[in-house]
Structure 1
Amino acid sequence: MANNDEITFDEDLEPPPVKSTQRKLMTDIITGGTAASLACVFSNPFEVVKTRLQLQGEMANSAAQGRVYKGLIDAFMKIPREEGVLAIQKGLVPGMVYQFFMNGARLGIYPTLKRLLNDDGSHSPMNVLRQIGAGATSGAIGAVIGSPFFMVKCRLQAMSKIAKNSGTLHANQYDYKGMVDGLVKVYKEEGMSGWFRGIDGAVPRVMVGSASQLATYETVKQRILALGYLHDGILCHFSSSMVSGIVVTTIMNPFDVVSTRLYTQPQGAKRIYSGPVDCFIKTARAEGLGGFFKGWTAHYARLGPHTVLCLVFWEQVRNLAHKFGF
């Protein structure tokens, strides 16, 4: 059974006192959120590129129609050149806030849910199902809490001079000066419910991503350690995270495309999709299966390193918290 310093999320068999459990839960939430926010600084440029790639040619019948960026590298070159160097970090502040609340809740609640589901850390199919259930549930909670910040992040990252002048990326552009300005404008125009616009697409996205990421990461890590070639350190975490990243990116990308489009679509009479199911159907009809995998390379380039950085940072922050008695 792993000790508290390991990142396998295993818990002691003996239930700890209530006060200790509550303090550990809060420590896991804070350290998980802090680690994810730090990782966001490095992964956000890929998030900007992914958002642009997912939105270009929206509802177009051909791949070339409405295409601005040829791919990951072309987008990385064009965005800073045409919009300024800082454009590649658009949405960084709401992105970090989103990561803190979403991953803080997701990573913090996950170990507790696993313990409540009586996961004993074995390789049995039942425990894999428990890991998936715990990952999906904690992901859903995190998605709801972080939804307003994810919406503003998406809209800030979608803002483009090219799209505003020519409409080649997608139909709608939001003129936000920053996170606070975006939240205020949404509240004035749509009320508090506007902050959770698109949440019906975000919750399935994070549930699928969280369940596949955490379950795959733990399973791969346990297998690597069982082979005896690597010890429980950074290289093992890196290897497990990269494998997990491939799985989660592939499973999550269709939901990510739908979520991004729901968050950035215009409201009122110009609204394109009535919900996630409608978005799935219309995207499939207009763009085919390939429409659901737009931005996959940029998505993996963001999610792979982000997972590694997040877990490494989390381990270090948790160790530091334990040294100070938290």
Structure 2
Amino acid sequence: MVDVTDFIIGGLSAGCAGFFSNPLDVLKTRMQLQGELKARGLQKGVVAAVILHSIRNCIRLGLYQTALKKGILTDENGKTVFYKSFIISSVCGAAGAFVGSPLFLIKTQLQSQAVQQIAVGFQHNHRGAISALKTIYSQHGLRGLWRGANGTVIRAVAGSSAQLTSFLMAKDALRDVAYLKNRPYLISFIASFIGGVFQTVAVTPFDLISTRLYNQGIDAQGRGLLYSGVIDCCVKVWKTEGFFGFYKGVGANYMRLAPHSVLTLVFWDYFKELHNVYLSKREIVIRQKL
């Protein structure tokens, strides 16, 4: 049976992390749109960002934890099986990304906004998250809210599989280190840092593509003014900027993803432990009453 608490914990963990990592997300977004940073407003789109991270990871981490509890991801010794974790975390990441795509669209457009003198990329001039939602829906309907979803789903598959699989496998290895045996939160911290490194390498090219797809202007028919889709964006980046064009903003991306990964996964383990402690205490109270 699915435990709703697993989904709440997943969303809460990422929402808390998203609040702290949002300034770095703004830096990354603007670097990917122009390649240099000269703008203020480091908490642009913070509301959309926190809600986005909460919704996406409520689904992603909730589904992944459900699979973990059912023993789908591990062998008979309780060790993480690479291909099982890779497949399940990819599916979980894709599901969360698709549901949260409208908020990713709004967050990206809000974070790219700046005064004209220092503006980067196409400027949508939204007054806020609610205003952006109303404007996009009124002009382009439901389909407009999911514009660019294919890019962020591919991004999520790469990032989720790299992050969660490396995180669990690193934890398995670190538990065998004598010094760390009674230090679960230190294990979580080190493993989450490793997860952030793998996630950054895997996700940056897809992150750049989804950022550009989301932020581009569109015509009256809802078609992008710069890119027709993921493939077109990839081809144009390759032709004009070369291989390293896909890693534009990788430093800022790492500076955001590493702390965000650490905070999300450490919060995730911490909240799960709090929930387990609560369940244990409740069980004791129930037994005492019998």
CA distance in 2, matches of 1:90, 1:166: 15
> What's 1:28 paired with?
6
The verdict on how the C-alpha distance between 1:126 and 1:300 changes in structure 2, with shifts beyond 3 A counting, is closer
In structure 2, the residue corresponding to 1:272 is in which secondary structure? coil
In structure 2, the residue corresponding to 1:300 is in which secondary structure? helix
The verdict on how the C-alpha distance between 1:118 and 1:313 changes in structure 2, with shifts beyond 3 A counting, is closer
CA distance in 1, matches of 2:199, 2:8: 24
Work out whether residues 80 and 169 of structure 2, in 8 Å CA contact, stay in contact via their aligned partners in 1: no
State the AA in 2 paired with 1:34. Answer: L
Residue 129 of structure 2 is aligned to residue 175 of structure 1: no
Work out whether residues 117 and 130 of structure 1, in 8 Å CA contact, stay in contact via their aligned partners in 2: no
The verdict on how the C-alpha distance between 1:182 and 1:36 changes in structure 2, with shifts beyond 3 A counting, is same
State the AA in 1 paired with 2:184. Answer: G
Aligned mate of 2:28, from 47, 50, 57: 50
Residue 91 of structure 2 is aligned to residue 137 of structure 1: yes
In structure 2, the residue corresponding to 1:88 is in which secondary structure? coil
How far does residue 305 in structure 1 lie from its aligned partner after superposition?
1.1
How far does residue 239 in structure 1 lie from its aligned partner after superposition?
1.2
Residue 246 of structure 2 is aligned to residue 292 of structure 1: yes
Residue 260 of structure 2 is aligned to residue 306 of structure 1: yes
Residue 284 of structure 2 is aligned to residue 319 of structure 1: no
> What's 1:205 paired with?
155
Work out whether residues 29 and 107 of structure 1, in 8 Å CA contact, stay in contact via their aligned partners in 2: yes
Work out whether residues 34 and 104 of structure 1, in 8 Å CA contact, stay in contact via their aligned partners in 2: yes
State the AA in 2 paired with 1:244. Answer: G
State the AA in 1 paired with 2:87. Answer: G
> What's 2:39 paired with?
79
For residues 167-316 of structure 1, the aligned pairs below 5 Å read: 169-170=120-121, 172-231=122-181, 232-268=183-219, 271-316=225-270
Which runs of 5 or more structure 2 residues have no equivalent in the other structure?
Answer: 283-290
CA distance in 2, matches of 1:299, 1:180: 26
CA distance in 1, matches of 2:77, 2:139: 51
CA distance in 2, matches of 1:187, 1:225: 49
Work out whether residues 80 and 168 of structure 2, in 8 Å CA contact, stay in contact via their aligned partners in 1: no
The verdict on how the C-alpha distance between 1:236 and 1:124 changes in structure 2, with shifts beyond 3 A counting, is closer
Work out whether residues 221 and 236 of structure 1, in 8 Å CA contact, stay in contact via their aligned partners in 2: yes
Work out whether residues 192 and 266 of structure 2, in 8 Å CA contact, stay in contact via their aligned partners in 1: no
State the AA in 1 paired with 2:162. Answer: S
Instruction: Report the number of matched residues.
Output: 276
State the AA in 1 paired with 2:45. Answer: G
State the AA in 2 paired with 1:46. Answer: L
Alpha-carbon displacement from aligned partner over 1:260-312 (angstroms, at most 9, x marks no partner): 00000111276111111111111010111111101111111111111111122
Which runs of 5 or more structure 1 residues have no equivalent in the other structure?
Answer: 1-20, 57-66, 70-74, 81-86
CA distance in 1, matches of 2:70, 2:128: 40
How far does residue 114 in structure 1 lie from its aligned partner after superposition?
4.6
In structure 2, the residue corresponding to 1:229 is in which secondary structure? helix
> What's 1:14 paired with?
none
CA distance in 2, matches of 1:254, 1:124: 34
Work out whether residues 30 and 111 of structure 2, in 8 Å CA contact, stay in contact via their aligned partners in 1: yes
In structure 1, the residue corresponding to 2:125 is in which secondary structure? coil
Per mean C-alpha deviation after superposition, the further-off stretch among 125-134 and 89-98 is 125-134
CA distance in 2, matches of 1:311, 1:276: 30
How far does residue 79 in structure 1 lie from its aligned partner after superposition?
2.8
> What's 1:63 paired with?
none
In structure 2, the residue corresponding to 1:307 is in which secondary structure? helix
In structure 2, the residue corresponding to 1:226 is in which secondary structure? coil
> What's 1:15 paired with?
none
Work out whether residues 114 and 130 of structure 1, in 8 Å CA contact, stay in contact via their aligned partners in 2: no
Alpha-carbon displacement from aligned partner over 1:52-103 (angstroms, at most 9, x marks no partner): 00000xxxxxxxxxx5x3xxxxx4xx433xxxxxx10101000000001101
Work out whether residues 45 and 88 of structure 1, in 8 Å CA contact, stay in contact via their aligned partners in 2: yes
In structure 1, the residue corresponding to 2:176 is in which secondary structure? helix
State the AA in 2 paired with 1:32. Answer: G
The verdict on how the C-alpha distance between 1:220 and 1:322 changes in structure 2, with shifts beyond 3 A counting, is closer
Work out whether residues 8 and 58 of structure 2, in 8 Å CA contact, stay in contact via their aligned partners in 1: yes
CA distance in 2, matches of 1:236, 1:200: 35
The verdict on how the C-alpha distance between 1:123 and 1:306 changes in structure 2, with shifts beyond 3 A counting, is farther
CA distance in 1, matches of 2:210, 2:224: 18
Alignment root-mean-square deviation, CA: 2.2
The verdict on how the C-alpha distance between 1:130 and 1:38 changes in structure 2, with shifts beyond 3 A counting, is same
